[in-house]
Every structure is written in structure tokens, then in C-alpha cells.
Structure 1
């Protein structure tokens, strides 16, 4: 009976279930129960799928935001493929650019026969270090660089070898089309494309290194950086400096050209120099060529020298600006000055009273010492500080040298500094101070980037009176026509300036037979637009056998300006009568 009821109930479309309550029971359909169970199971499956997708999505987001996992051996090269902006001159000519390259690496764990790999790679890669490569291939690390920056042909040849465990990584290589031409200005980078010198290093200091670290420069085309230099002018200046160094058998030579209104550096060369495409040269025996690396030293901005009689420009400007002298003043240069155990004489002195133009023309040490004495020690130091000659020059170029001066200025210091001994400055800041004498009296910070006259005016500060600047233009023109500046004259152009011949300091002593020569020039003298400064370090000979600045540095000015002036838009004037030279009292 019981079994019959159970079978009957299983065939029924309803189930009797007793419930507590007034009704005492209810009828629940079997189909309804099954549908409810199906919906419950479907909901469970949907919830499981949603949970799985949430876990997967969360993990993908986590992977996307996290740093990539790298082995310690390559962590320092994470940003090796980062781009750098092109560097161009003021006319848009290319100075530096990136090339796409590849570098070879190995996974030593997958190398089957290290000896075989080394032997085959040596057939493709020149100067491969067998022992070092073998050591890398036998190491326990998962990554080893074998050779950086290969050519496409080398990459194809290595792929053809079919060696397991080798791979390639895309990289950037910096290329300098001009080679040595502007090496000290542009600078160079290391194998990871990080700026080490010159404007390349400046770019990293201005935030490029941070952008690289953030991964924002990978394969990104950046806006070119336009420099102030004119590549045509730069080529001439460098050529003249190299020729002078060879012809005069000197240790070094150099030159710089400045725009007196904007402070833009149009050209700067220092020889010996180097090729930024190969900043470190390796000798056949594997050693680094130390003599070649001496070319890294930029004597125009990174070195200080006693600038000799070029400083007489600033001494006379100081006396004129202070009102202690006028162009019509006369100082006694008839006798040497004895002071503190030293005797100060003139080189080829006239042994008579001299007017201020004659003091400048004959480069009288006695005359300039007298002018410095009129102003006084404190006034002398303050004036040179105002001209920026005693402090580090502010410009974009990294590694600019700081001038040296006596710890305590005494009278003997002021006297010797008046004619360029006792203070060492960079040739660049000497040119900048000379530009202030020519442009109406405004000191404009030098720049290696393009700058408008309006931008320069906002940065300029007056350091001397307009009348003092006019007097100095007269003195430069006077010396250019009648003094040592005659050796720098180019027919059709009005060039003025001042020579400077200083005994070099060797082991703390002045060497009588070794000179450091300079010439600071301005042109055209009716309205100076440019200042040019040339240097020649320790020449053994010069024009007509002379070793002074008039025979070495001045002819460099002539060689530069006869080729550069037309490029700078300065028109020659032929056949015009010479302007009457008069002494004007302001």
C-alpha cells in the first residue's frame, strides 16, 4: 500500500506538503518547484562568471599599471630607445639627430656552445673581445650585452648564423653630421643616448632626462632645438683656429663671435677638439687614447686665462665712467713704477707723458696703472664685478669656469690687474664684457639659443654710461687704425680692437718665453654689431717671426672677418675717405 502511494505521488503533477497554519496544508506543483531550482542554479552560474571576469579584469589593470619586470643586468638600460630632439643651427641646418640602431644581447642560459658563438660572432663583429664575450656567455645571468649599436648589415649577418640564445634590441644612436665642426658647443652623448657635454647635457638638465625616465620620449618626434650659432660662420672660425694652431706651432687656439645687441653666440671654436660621433677613441691595443680626449677641453668657456692687455679696455672704461679721465687727459708714463719690490715698465715704452688714446695705442702698463690708481682699489674691484669679469658667467653651456682673483686686493693687485695680470677670466666673458663697451653700455648675458632683441633688452642691465661707450668705440677705432689693430684690418671693413700678450703662468711662475695671446675686436666701428675674440696659446712663432698678439691673434681676426663679414650681412665700403680722427672731450 505504501509503495503504491509513493508511485502514485511520483506520477502526480502536485505534492501534498503539510504546513503550519490555519489552512492546515497547501498543494505545490512539481513543475513550479523545478523551475525555481533552475533559476537558482542559473543565477549561481551567472554570479560565478561575473566573479571570474572581475578577477581577470582587475589583474589586467594591475599588470597595466605596474612596472615591467626586468632582470637586474638590464635595469639601467630601460630607456635606451628614448628619443632626443634634433639640434639645428639658427638657419635650420642639422647639427645632431637620432638614428635607429639595434644592439646584440645574449641569454647565457640558452647558449649551447659558447666557443662556437664567439668564433662565429668574431667573423661579423670587428675587434670582438673574445675572452670578455666568452665570460659573458658562460655567466649565470639571463641577459648580457654583447655589442651595442650594430649596423643593419651586421644584424642580418648575425641572424644568418642561426645561433640560439642571441637577440636584438632596438636603440637610438646620436649622429653629428658636422663631426668636429661644433663639437664643443653641441657636446655629445653616451651609449645610452644621455647627454654628457655641451648643449646635449643642457637639454637633459632642462627636463629631457625626466621625460626619458617617465617613458614619454620613446619613439616620439620632439621639436628641434634651434641654437644661435651659424653653421657657415662656425665652420670658418674653426678652420681659422685650426690653421693658426698649426701655422704658429701653438698648444691651442680658439675664437668666439658675439652679437653685441642680443648676446647670441654666432660661433665658438676651440682646438684641439674631438669628433662627438667618437668621443672616446680606442687604440689598437684596447687602451683609450688620452691625447685624443684632451680635445674635450673647451678653452673659450671652460678655461680661465690672464687676458693681458685686453684688460686695458676695461681699465680705461672704468676711468672714463668714473670721470677721473677724459679722452683729452694726459698721464705721466715717462718713468717705470716701483711698488712692493716690483718694477712695472712699458713694452717698447715712449718714456714720456701720454694722452689716453696713446695709452691705448701703445698699450702702456704705466698709463693704465695710473688710471687704476685714480679710481682706487674698491672702485676697481666693483667695476670689474659689474662687468661680470670676476664671477661665473651665466649661460646655457654646462661646465663654465669660474674666474680667479686675489683673496685680498692690495694696491699692487689693482695695478697689475689694470693691465691684465693677477685676474684670470674665460675668453667668453671677456668678449661679453667687451660687447658692453660697444653696444651703448649694456651687459647682455651670452646665449647659445636664439634670442630676439626684445628678449635681450629685458635681460640687459646698464653697466657704463652711453658717453663712456662712445669713448670706447673711439679708442677701439683709433687703435684699429693706428695701433696693433692694423694687423687685423680687412679692406672695406672698419675693425677696431685691442691686443693682449700675457706671459703664461707655469708652475706658479711667469714664463718669459711662453705667451698667451688674445685680440678682442669689434666691427663695423661706425656702429658695432659684433665682437670677435681670438686666442692663441703658447705660439712658437707668428707673422714675420713675432710671437706677440699682434703677430698671432690679430691675423686670426683678419682671416675670420674677411670670410665671415659678408655672411653676417656687413657690407664693405670701398673708396670712402677716412674719417677725421679727433679727440672729443665729453
Structure 2
């Protein structure tokens, strides 16, 4: 652009020639230049305003159109457009095999005090003592007026308690968000679940961590956000567990027992459908650990941690191994002449069974002498190897932190006398879970299974321990124990029950055995012709007192309790009774 000169020479000369003032020409030209610049700036500004107005109109049109679309559409939850998984901060639930809740979380609040912000410590202390009866008003007042600026009052409170604290009106009493672990079924499966406690705590958060049972064993899994809150699914059945606990508690009371345990296990998958230890506790208010004999504590898990000499339930292992080795069959005659003397030791039978019995009747009559003679033929080394294959010499590996403490107690020197006594369940201590595992492995067709608290959908493919023929013969022998032997009270109409009783004297702390204290055990399998489940019931120091003479043997104590458990639990597990076995035999009266 060519700018107009302010003092054009031609006009200056002309103005001078005419006698005019040349400065007027410069002023006029400067005015004209400014007007041109103002006009150009106005045009440029008007153009910019027009473009900006058009942009605002377009933006408002887009927003208005989108709002119209949303107003006319169906409501729906917004979806995350990007990838990635949400972070799950809470502890995962625990469920039974059918998805029913065993442990979950509940949102609640904690209560704490900021003493510097308190207006009336005395009124606050009195008010809290009225809401929480276990708190002392004077102790609270001392804390509120002392040197402490922060004070925990309650780790968790109920909504009703929270409202009551609100009504005190004290600004120094504050609340923090919390998650508490809730066990909605109370004491059901308490020893399996274990319990939790608060770990690291802050005003606005607290970490929940397991202290026992599967809560402790699977603590990392339950707290891992990568699992996206997927529940831990256990093998137990809540309905069966509740039924077994109810029956076992009643049996424990009727038999005047100090404690009791029951283990029900699938013989093919190794799943523990029910495991009970009594006395028990409520994991919502887990009691503290007590001093003294741990067996007196409700926290003690008798089914897993309790190792006992279980008595004659071991005899089927001895006879089964002898059959597998080809040393005898079901009809082989065995010398039962007693007592059997070994050094200063004498082995006797509960009754005099005569000079000899068949191998089957050694189990049916429960002859210590006959079993010991068979064990002498087997030998210590082969006996130990066989019991090891059944899992009776090592901890079970069950998914509980208590499982390693249930280590079997073995003789320091596995001598010939040890071989003889172990053959009928003395001299080796193991837990009820060990016994359930061994019975399942022997009776399921002869393949080893390991117990588990996790749900499985397929049978275990364990190593073969005995042949199918040996397993079938062992089941037949156990069935005869119920039909005509020491476990006649174990018969359950419609379910072919087989099993073996065991009554073992309890050892004294000083050595030797009590005369009037026993561990009574019944290890059973049902149905015996096509085994599905093994049930082990054990009573600590039972006494049956319905007659003048107190009776402590398993046939009078543990067997009736086990039979009632099977009667209650079998239908819950989908086992239909055998209709043929329920039909009456002989001549019956019918109406026309």
C-alpha cells in the first residue's frame, strides 16, 4: 500500500506562491490518513465479531441438539469408553459350593476423639458411657483432659450407636468410614473361616486381614484387587454344615463328651463337604487366645489340629494291606488266641473271640490279637510305607493355616511292637482329617485323594494304592461291621452304611493311659456298594449313661451320632435312598 505523503512538494510550492500556509496542507493530509486507518480497523473488527458470533452460534446449536437427543432417549448407566479394569478395594466374599455367602463386608463407621476440639469433655464422657456400657466415664474423662490429642473410642459402631453419639453434640467426637467383616451365619463353619482383624488403620480407612482358617490362608487372594472381587468358593455345603453341627452338638451333649469333631469328605474329589469342631465360637466376636490346655479353647480345631490315637479304625488298613500283598483274603483264618505276648507287653481283645477268626470277622469283631498277628506278617517297613501312601504320616496340606500344626505323632523307633500296636490304632496319633483322607483313598477304588476346602468339578487322579478288588473287599468288610458287628447302631435305612469303630484310651500327661477317658471314633462310608462320601465322627471323653453301667465305646457313643448325621445330611446332598432296601420283607398285611 502506497501511503499519501503529508507534505507533497507540488502543493507546498503552489501554496507558497499563493501566499498560503503550507502547514495546513500537512495537517489535512494527517487527518485523512487517520480516517483511513480508523475505517480499516472498524472493518477488520466487524469481520472478527461476525466470525466469533458464528462460532458461538454453532457451539450452542451442537449443545442444544445433544441435549435434545439425551432428553428424548431412554435412561441408561454411562459406560467407560476406555479400556482397563476397575480397582476393587474391599475384601472378597467367601461362599459355599452353591454360592451362598459365608463371609462378606459391611459398611460401618469408627468413632474417635480429637480432644483439642472438645467443648465439654465431662458431658461427652458421660454420654459415651451411657451408649457403650463397657466404657468407664471417669477413664474417658481422664483421656479427654489429658495430654492425648487423638483417641480411638470404637473401631466399629452400629448406625444406632452413631446416631446416639451425634445427639451428644460434641464437635470433638468424629466418625471415620470403615468396612467390617461380617459372618452372617454366626458360628456355622467358624473353624473353617477363622476370622479377621484390622491391620493398618487410619482415620478414613482400615485394612482387614485374616487371622486364622481360610481367611488367613487365602489372605493375599481375598485382598488382591486384580481378582475384581471374585468370591472365594469353598467346597463345603452350608446346609449340610449346619445340619452336621446341630446333630453333633446334640450328640456331644447326650454323650456327655468334652468335645467332638466331624469330617465329611467326597471320596472321589477330596472335597470336604462339612467339617465341624466343638466347642466352637462366633467369628463375628472371635474370643481371645487362652492359656493352658489348648483343647479347652473354642479356637482349637479338633478336626485338623487334634491328633489322637484313634484306635480300631486303623484295623482296616492292616487287613487291606495284607489282602493287597496276597497274604490273605476275606475267608483266611487268623489265629486270635490271646493274650499275645511281646516282651513285657500283652495284647488282649475286648472279648474272647475263640482260637481263630476269618479276616472279615477280625474286622467285624474288632480283634486286636488277630490284627497284630497280621501286622507281624506285613512287617514294620512295609506297614510304614503303606500308611505313608495313605497320607497318615505327614500334615494333610489342607488350605488352612492350622493344617501344618496337625502333624501326626510317630513312634521314635518303629519297632515290631510299634508295628503291632499301630495295626489297631495305638502308638500313632493322627487327626480326623487324616483318617477321612485315608479311608477315602482306600475305599474309592484304591486311588489316593487329598482333602481340599476348594470346590472341584472333577475327581482327583491320584496314584493307585490298592487294587479295585482290595478296595471292594475292604468296603464289604466295613459293611459287615454295621450289619452284624460293633457298629450296628450305624444302620441308616435306604443308605448302605459301612464303617469301623475305634475306642482308644487317652494318654495321661505323665505317661500311660486313663482308665475312664477315651476317644471314641466311627469312620464310615456311604453308600458302601458305590461310595460317595466318608464320614468320620470323633467324641472326646464320651459317657453314655442310659443304663446302670456307663458305656464309653464308640459303638454306643460315636456310631449313633454318625448315623443321625447321615440320615440328615444324605438327602441334602442329593443322595436318594435305596427304595429296595426300604421295602418290608416277608408276609405283609394289605387291605383290599
| Fold equivalence (TM over 0.5) | yes
Select 2:209's aligned residue among 185, 190, 194.
194
Provide the residue aligned with 1:474 in structure 2. Answer: 476
Matched, 1:369 2:372: yes
Structure 1 residue aligned with 2:49: none
> What's the CA shift string for 1:339-395, capped at 9, x where partnerless?
120110111121211110010011000111011100111111111111110111111
> What's the counterpart of residue 555 of structure 1?
560
2:329 aligned partner:
326
Question: How far does residue 461 in structure 1 lie from its aligned partner after superposition?
Answer: 2.1
Taking the TM superposition and a 5 Å limit, the aligned residue runs for 1:49-60 are: none
1:178-577 paired onto structure 2 within 5 Å: 178-192=185-199, 193-204=208-219, 206-208=220-222, 211=224, 216=225, 222-280=229-287, 294-400=297-403, 401-454=406-459, 456-457=460-461, 460-507=462-509, 508-541=511-544, 545-576=550-581
Alignment of 1:74-113 (within 5 A): 83-113=90-120
Indicate the larger mover: 138-147 or 318-327.
138-147
SS at match of 1:100: strand
Matched-pair contact (CA < 8 Å) for 1:254–1:300? yes
**Distance across 1 between alignment mates of 2:222 and 2:103:** 15
- Give the 3-state SS of the residue equivalent to 2:187 in structure 1: helix
Gaps of 5+ in 1: 1-80, 579-586
Structure 2 match to 1:152 = 159
Report if the CA contact (8 A) 2:311-2:425 is conserved.
yes
Deviation per CA, 1:43-82: give whole Å up to 9, x if none: xxxxxxxxxxxxxxxxxxxxxxxxxxxxxxxxxxxxxx95
Aligned residues: 483
- Per-residue CA deviation, residues 96-142 of structure 1 (Å, 9 max, x unaligned), is 11111101111233334433321222232332133543344345454
In the superposition, the TM-score normalised over structure 1's length comes to: 0.78
SS at match of 1:156: helix
Are 1:238 and 1:254, in contact at CA under 8 Å, matched by a contact in 2?
A: no
2:294 and 2:300 in contact (8 A); partners too:
no
Q: Distance in 2 between matches of 1:290 and 1:506?
A: 13
In structure 2, distance between residues paired with 1:135 and 1:194: 32
Distance verdict in 2 for CA 1:577–1:562, change over 3 Å: closer
CA distance in 1, matches of 2:433, 2:453: 12
- SS state at 1:189 partner: strand
- 2:180 maps to what in 1? 173
SS of structure 2 residue aligned to 1:122: helix
Compare CA radii of gyration and give the structure with the larger one. Answer: 2
The superposition leaves residues 149-203 of structure 1 with CA deviations (integer Å, 9 ceiling, x where unpaired) of: 1111221222232212221111111111111121111121124532111111122
Cα distance in structure 2, aligned partners of 1:91 and 1:341: 56
SS at match of 2:161: helix
The Cα shift of 1:240 comes to 1.2
The answer as to whether partners of 2:124 and 2:168 remain within 8 angstroms in 1 is no
Change (3 A) 1:332 1:443: same
Q: 1:292 to 1:552 in 2, by over 3 A?
A: closer
Decide whether the 8 Å contact of 2:92 with 2:222 is kept in 1: no
Q: How far is 1:292 from its partner?
A: 12
Structure 2: unaligned runs, 5 residues or longer: 1-87, 200-207, 584-592
Q: Matches of 2:504 and 2:235 in 1, distance apart? A: 31
Which whole-Å CA distance do the structure 1 matches of 2:168 and 2:275 have between them? Answer: 48
Deviates more, 1:358-367 or 1:160-169: 160-169
- What secondary structure does 1:255 align onto? strand
- 1:441-467 C-alpha deviation (Å, 9 max, x unpaired): 11111111101215x22xx22222222
